[in-house]
Amino acid sequence: MLYFAGCSGGVAGLRVAKDIAESNPGSRVLLATSETTIIGIKPPSADRPGGLEDNIEGFCHKLIGIARLTDRDYSKMFWAVHPGGPAILNRMMEKRFDLLPDKLNASRIALMDYGNDSSNTIVYVLEYMIEESRMMLAGSENCDWGLILVSDLELPWREFLQETLLS
């Protein structure tokens, strides 16, 4: 169990579930997320890592290098981004990476339907993405590799590189 992980808890849980499933072929793993919201405001602090925008490009470039992809391949990948708000999707992701408009559809729909629901949100995004992937032709160039990303004020980026959403 992971406690008090905030927005990044969903991706942390997905990573643990993925590791368990890969270590136990044929097994089924259940990931359940739940949020108890306590309203709190933390002022900016010099002790926290650099701003989200300051390190996202290098962070994503390093990740896609693992799959032998380059920054020219960003629009060929799927993007599961925790939509903390419209600015993260529009300015930080779509414009910065020159993504095709449909690349963040699932994130936008999850934000519209549920808002920022902390760790649960990335699960909603993936649910919408899986629905979209089933409608697309399997193995098309748009669904081979992708990034699952979440930002959090405490932990600037949690992620993993994923090969295909459908197995």
Hey, how many other C-beta atoms are within 10 angstroms of the C-beta on 102?
12
For residue 35, what are its two tokens? 């949020």
Cα separation of the two ends of the chain: 26
d(Cα 163, Cα 146) in Å, to the nearest integer?
A: 6
Hey, how many other C-beta atoms are within 10 angstroms of the C-beta on 123?
20
Hey, how many other C-beta atoms are within 10 angstroms of the C-beta on 41?
4
d(Cα 68, Cα 111) in Å, to the nearest integer?
A: 31
Out of 7, 11, 88, 129, the active site residue is 7
In this structure, which amino acid lies at residue 62? Answer: K
Q: Which helix (H) or strand (E) holds 81?
A: strand 78-81
7 is catalytic: yes
Q: Under DSSP, is residue 78 helix (H, G, I), strand (E, B) or coil?
A: strand
Per-residue DSSP letter, 49: P
Enumerate the active-site residues.
7
